[in-house]
Amino acid sequence: MSLGLPLSLGPARHRAKTLYDAPMASPDSSESAARALGFHRFRQLDDRVLLTSQEGSWLMVSQDEFASLQRGELGKLEARLLEANLLERPERADVAASALSKRRPFLSYGPNLHIMIVTLRCNETCAYCHASRAAESDLSSDMSFETAERSVDLALASTSPDITIEFQGGEPLLRFDLLKHIVDYALEKNQQAKKTLEFALVSNLATMDDEKLEWLCEHRIQVCTSVDGPAEVHDAQRKLVSGSAHAETVKWIKRINGAYEEAGLDPNTYRVEALLTTTKRTLAYPREVVDTYLELGCRALFLRPLDPFGFASKTAAQLAYPIEDFLEFYKTAVEYMLEKNREGEEILERFAGIFLTKILSGQDPNYLDIRSPCGAGIGQVAYGYDGRIFTCDEGRMLSEEGDDTFLIGDVKSSSYRELMGHETVRTLAVASNLDGQPQCSRCAYQPYCGVCPVHNHKTQGTLFGRTAESTLCKVHMGIQDFLFKKLDEADPAVMDAFAKWTTVRPRDHYLHRADD
């Protein structure tokens, strides 16, 4: 990968004015204003140069064309620059402002994702467990009914019209009684709150049974699990005392998908979501991982790198890898997925789907870890089994390691207003705002990207982070380099797959409304 030009603004005479300090041209000066290149960021990708605007429109040009632009010669590029809103003109700021407000509707309301840790106990032992699971017999790490109800009350107090309650652990199915109570209680309370409610269960599925499945289907609860690739990889890092963790998960994914089909749900939309955690062992299996997901009938695969939280921070020597190796793995796997799409299969990679939606549709899918500012507190809240409240699940994970930096309250004593105005929430909103990040503010990928203060804090000891040294930045940059090169090549089959990867499919079946 050639990084070529430094990530900096152009030469002084083209140095961009920001959207906010660009003077509005008077009508009689519009012709000369139309000839000037406006605010832009740029990045060299091999022999091409990507230009992006403040609001995320973009244009790829050759190096010669870029050199001409630097000399102030727009030539044949003028129409394309105009289309990408990269030229100064009177209406430019309005166009950009409207695009930016369309891109960030999430800034208008409070947290929509509410993660409830119904127990920290787990029946599996994963080498990288980010949650720092407790032993299955340790009942002291179970949530009480009172804590659960108070957590729901706080979730429904959010100003967001859409609320997702996500059950996490440990293994939430070990507290199926509490999970059912939370759903019933939330549905009852929602008669007054009148939110659009969704429920999601994140489970290893090993303690699923027919009765639980029937109840989950009846109550329209989304199910998400972990599949770390083929059995030899999965079972080597996710241990189940009673047998193969992979076999159990695979068995239930098939059963649940079958139940969705029996209920008449569209198999292209309603499937068990599965997530991959990439360890050093996984790197040798990019194609096998994709084949595993295809065999399971999954339509999406999230190629996530290892996080530095929980047990993963202790087992890093066995599990971690240079980020360049992850990016090679990522590219090989995605190229293979594109090949499979070309052959008529349908499978998308989630990172690519998130970035491409921002790049191609001008909308933000509101993935809380890749947005500016990030979702800490203002997009998500995590409720610990003991009633303590954190800015996000990752902040809660750090607390299990003894670091309470991201603790913002307690269900017994905190009001919604106190949580949202907490100094940590405000600090994280500033720390994850890319306009204020020295390197991000100049990066061509700024309109589409995000930084993670919890990751920064854990790996660098600073919330604001040193982006140039951040492994997460390397991942985001490497993936966006790959995607923009693909967009520039514009292979019709790839563009066709990308169009599908950015299509938002309504999942109304999972939505619960007050008058349902």
What's the closest the beta carbon of residue 406 comes to ligand SF4, in angstroms? 7
Peptide linkage before 377 cis (omega within 30 of 0)? no
On whether the CB atoms of residues 19 and 96 are closer than 8 A, the answer is: yes
What's the closest the beta carbon of residue 268 comes to ligand SF4, in angstroms? 29
Q: Which of 207, 225, 292, 467 binds ligand SF4 (CB under 6 A)?
A: 467
What's the closest the beta carbon of residue 56 comes to ligand SF4, in angstroms? 12
Whole-angstrom Cα distance, residue 167 to residue 183?
Answer: 10
If binding means CB under 6 A, how many residues of this protein chain bind ligand SF4?
28
Is 366 a binding residue for ligand SF4 by CB under 6 A? The answer is no
Whole-angstrom Cα distance, residue 247 to residue 123?
Answer: 15
Is 394 a binding residue for ligand SF4 by CB under 6 A? The answer is yes
Is 45 a binding residue for ligand SF4 by CB under 6 A? The answer is no
Q: Which is nearer to ligand SF4, 227 or 440 (CB)?
A: 440
Q: Which is nearer to ligand SF4, 278 or 480 (CB)?
A: 480
Q: Which of 96, 152, 473, 483 binds ligand SF4 (CB under 6 A)?
A: 473
For residue 514, which of 222, 216, 196, 150 has the smallest C-alpha distance?
Answer: 196
Per-residue DSSP letters for 53-109?
-TTS-EEEEEHHHHHHHHTT--GGGHHHHHHTT-B--TTHHHHHHHHHHHH-GGGGS
What's the closest the beta carbon of residue 328 comes to ligand SF4, in angstroms? 18
Q: Which of 376, 411, 419, 425 binds ligand SF4 (CB under 6 A)?
A: 376
Residue 85, by phi and psi: left (phi above 0), alpha (psi -120 to 50) or beta?
Answer: left
What's the closest the beta carbon of residue 500 comes to ligand SF4, in angstroms? 25
Q: Any idea what the Cα angle at residue 114 is, between residues 113 and 117, rounded to 5°?
A: 135
Stretch that binds ligand SF4, among 180-188, 225-233, 348-356, 389-397 (CB under 6 A): 389-397
What's the closest the beta carbon of residue 397 comes to ligand SF4, in angstroms? 9
Backbone angles phi, psi at 183, to 5 degrees: -65, -50
Q: Which residue has the tokens 């008077």?
A: 26
Scan residues 426-455 and list those touching ligand SF4 (CB under 6 A).
428, 432, 434, 439-440, 443, 445-446, 449, 451-455
On whether the CB atoms of residues 299 and 348 are closer than 8 A, the answer is: yes
Stretch that binds ligand SF4, among 31-39, 47-55, 155-163, 372-380 (CB under 6 A): 372-380
Whole-angstrom Cα distance, residue 269 to residue 203?
Answer: 20
**Residue 464, number of CB atoms within 10 A of its CB:** 17
Q: Which is nearer to ligand SF4, 190 or 432 (CB)?
A: 432
Stretch that binds ligand SF4, among 224-232, 281-289, 353-361, 469-477 (CB under 6 A): 469-477
What's the closest the beta carbon of residue 430 comes to ligand SF4, in angstroms? 12
Is 369 a binding residue for ligand SF4 by CB under 6 A? The answer is yes
Q: Which is nearer to ligand SF4, 256 or 479 (CB)?
A: 479
Q: Which is nearer to ligand SF4, 197 or 473 (CB)?
A: 473
394-406: burial string, b at 16+ Cβ within 10 Å, e else = bbbbbbbeeeebb
Q: Which is nearer to ligand SF4, 182 or 451 (CB)?
A: 451
Q: Which is nearer to ligand SF4, 181 or 466 (CB)?
A: 466
Stretch that binds ligand SF4, among 31-39, 103-111, 194-202, 374-382 (CB under 6 A): 374-382
Is 502 a binding residue for ligand SF4 by CB under 6 A? The answer is no
Q: Which of 368, 398, 407, 487 binds ligand SF4 (CB under 6 A)?
A: 368
How far, in whole angstroms, is CA 372 from its chain's centroid? 12
454 token code pair: 């919890």
- Angle, in degrees to the nearest 10, between helices 453-460 and 423-431: 90
What's the closest the beta carbon of residue 304 comes to ligand SF4, in angstroms? 12
Whole-angstrom Cα distance, residue 174 to residue 119?
Answer: 8
Stretch that binds ligand SF4, among 148-156, 321-329, 369-377, 415-423 (CB under 6 A): 369-377
What's the closest the beta carbon of residue 388 comes to ligand SF4, in angstroms? 16
Q: Which is nearer to ligand SF4, 169 or 229 (CB)?
A: 169
| Pairing of β 300-305 and β 273-278 | parallel
Q: Which is nearer to ligand SF4, 269 or 427 (CB)?
A: 427
Q: Which residue has the tokens 């199926």?
A: 176
How many CA atoms lie within 13 Å of 344's alpha carbon, on the beta-carbon side?
0
What's the closest the beta carbon of residue 205 comes to ligand SF4, in angstroms? 24
How many CA atoms lie within 13 Å of 391's alpha carbon, on the beta-carbon side?
27
**Residue 125, number of CB atoms within 10 A of its CB:** 16
Helix ranges (DSSP H) in 463-508: 471-489, 492-501
Q: Which is nearer to ligand SF4, 1 or 67 (CB)?
A: 1
Kindly list the residues in this chain that would bind ligand SF4 in the complex (CB under 6 A): 368-369, 374-376, 380, 391-392, 394-395, 428, 432, 434, 439-440, 443, 445-446, 449, 451-455, 467, 473, 476-477
